[in-house]
Amino acid sequence: MFESSDFSSGAIHVVERLQDRGFDAYVVGGAVRDLLLGKKPKDFDVATNATPEQIKRCFRSARIIGRRFQIVHVRSGRDIIEVTTFRGHHDTEGSDPAAQASQSGRLLRDNVYGSLDDDARRRDLTINALYYDTTAHALIDKMNGQADVTARVIRIIGTPADRYREDPVRMLRVLRFAARLKFEIEPSTRNAIAETGILLRDIPSARLFDEWLKLFMNGFSAPAFALLREHDLLKHLMGDGINVANHASAARQLQHQAMTDTDHRVAEDRPVTPAFLLAALLWPAAERRAGELMARGESALQAMHIAGQQIVQETCQHLAIPKRFSFAMRDIWDLQPRLERRPPKKIKDLLAHRWFRAAFDLRLLREASSEVNDECSAFWNAQQLQYPELVGSKRGRHESESRRRSRPRRRKPAS
């Protein structure tokens, strides 16, 4: 059904080696789904009945990673193939140390192994529970995933509320795949989110930030945001600050424009940084807070500075924004009143600021959403034309060693 050339040589090698040693092994998940959709998979995951230790013994370059969910990374050339052992049922009531659940039913460890059938049932979505044997060229479809791919439906396997309780991040995955693939969400999969959305509060903020990156930095942030808003998950993901814009159409427009711009850049494979998008999405909150502080007598610059600190701190209760990004967000915000003032002696300094370009882009968004007039951007436009080599030339005070490394890996949009 698929050609061998549809798979990376690494994936085929891993499957063959495991099969040669007597194990079952299949390419599974996103890659099979994407191939059915006629898209080029971005990476390949393999599922097998070999345990992590057994997998490790098959490959020199294998490394076991993860605790909550052990997986093995096998390096093959430039590829890394993620190999997982079939997961089984667990008795989370018992004392089995391989499976532990929190009070709300959330799985804290999930290392009970099982059969292929068990493994298929433990996956999140029917469209992600497809297995392909690259040697026999056989598709194994235990959960009717192929029909859902054809019908373009996102459907949770099992009882949605139970599956969300086991792992609330599945709610974000449902919305992510719906946004990315432009699929409909099956009604019971969708409806259960209202009941369990609040459980996202228990998810470690670092894992939420990982999910945030997948939702917002891959070329479909605008539709993802719309779905998150519709299901009222934004506040659990990003805190209350994100909803400040709900009450002002200019602010909503600014957020929307920031996302569509980011999505276009991703589509064109131009660089994007989470710092800019976060600064834009939370600008309405930062601006309002600064206004409140000014009303209490703070200067414009000081008010912006304190507001930035507070909004970042509040957002980080939910989302573990790495410092290199949160410092940049605050710089972008701090620059807003400074750009506005255009102090003659500081023009070149401001132009050279590491985050000048991002701050200028935020200013443009503010003007386009007609919050402020466009004299300011016209002025800075002229300055940039006059001193092009200065723009962003100064490494910022919080500049980390490498600018490249601070960016998430970009990938071509899925659609």
> Which residues carry out catalysis?
43, 45, 124
The interface partner of residue 87, options being Mg ion, ligand ATP, none and the CB cut-off 5 to 8 Å by kind, is none
* Nearest residue (beta carbon) to ligand ATP: 30
109 - beta bridge partners? 100
Tell me the two tokens of residue 48: 């097998």
In 3-state terms, what secondary structure has residue 62? strand
CB of 254 to ligand ATP, least distance (A): 28
Q: Please identify which residue in 123, 288, 318, 338 interacts with ligand ATP, judged by CB under 6 A.
A: 123
- Concatenating the DSSP letter of every residue in 187-224 gives HHHHHTHHHHGGGGGGS-HHHHHHHHHHHHSSS-HHHH
Q: What is the closest distance, in whole angstroms, from the C-beta atom of residue 87 to ligand ATP in the complex?
A: 8
Q: Which of 281, 273, 302 is nearest to 290 (CA)?
A: 302
Query: Can you spell out the DSSP letters for 224-277?
Result: HHHHHHHTT-HHHHH-GGGGGGGG-HHHHHHHHHHHHHHHHHHHTT----HHHH
20 to 59, contacts with ligand ATP by CB under 6 A? Answer: 29-30, 42, 45
The CA distance from 121 to 51, in Å, is 19
The stretch near ligand ATP (CB under 6 A) out of 145-153, 168-176, 287-295, 313-321 is 168-176
Which listed residue (18, 27, 30, 157) binds Mg ion by CB under 5 A?
30
Cβ at position 81, least distance to ligand ATP in Å: 12
378: which residues sit within 8 A by CB, 6+ positions away? Answer: none
Q: How far is the CB of 256 from Mg ion (least distance, A)?
A: 29
Strand arrangement, sheet containing 130-133:
62-65, 71-76, 79-85, 45-48, 25-28, 130-133, 138-141
| Cα separation, 336 vs 376, whole angstroms | 10
Task: State how far the Cα of 16 lies from the Cα of 18, in Å rounded to an integer.
Answer: 5
Q: Interface residues for ligand ATP in 126-165 (CB under 6 A)?
A: 128-129
CA distance linking residue 256 with residue 365, whole number of Å? 10
In the window 276-305, what residues touch ligand ATP (CB under 6 A)? none
Binding segment for ligand ATP among 120-128, 228-236, 371-379, 387-395 (CB under 6 A)? 120-128
| Candidate list 124, 186, 287, 334; residue touching ligand ATP; CB under 6 A | 124
Nearest residue (CB) to ligand ATP, 42 versus 247: 42
Total chain residues near Mg ion (CB under 5 A)? 1
Following CA atoms 95, 97, 98, 100 in sequence, which dihedral angle do they give, to the nearest 10 degrees? Answer: 70
In this complex, which beta carbon is closest to ligand ATP, that of residue 267 or of residue 378? 267
Binds 247: which of Mg ion, ligand ATP, none (CB < 5-8 Å by kind): none
Minimum gap (Å) between residue 139 Cβ and Mg ion: 18
Contact by Cβ (8 Å): 218, 180: yes
Site track for ligand ATP across 173-202, x = CB under 6 A: x-----------------------------
Q: Does 119 bind ligand ATP (CB under 6 A)?
A: no
The H or E element spanning position 82 is strand 79-85
Binding site for ligand ATP (CB under 6 A): 29-30, 42, 45, 123-124, 128-129, 167, 169-170, 173
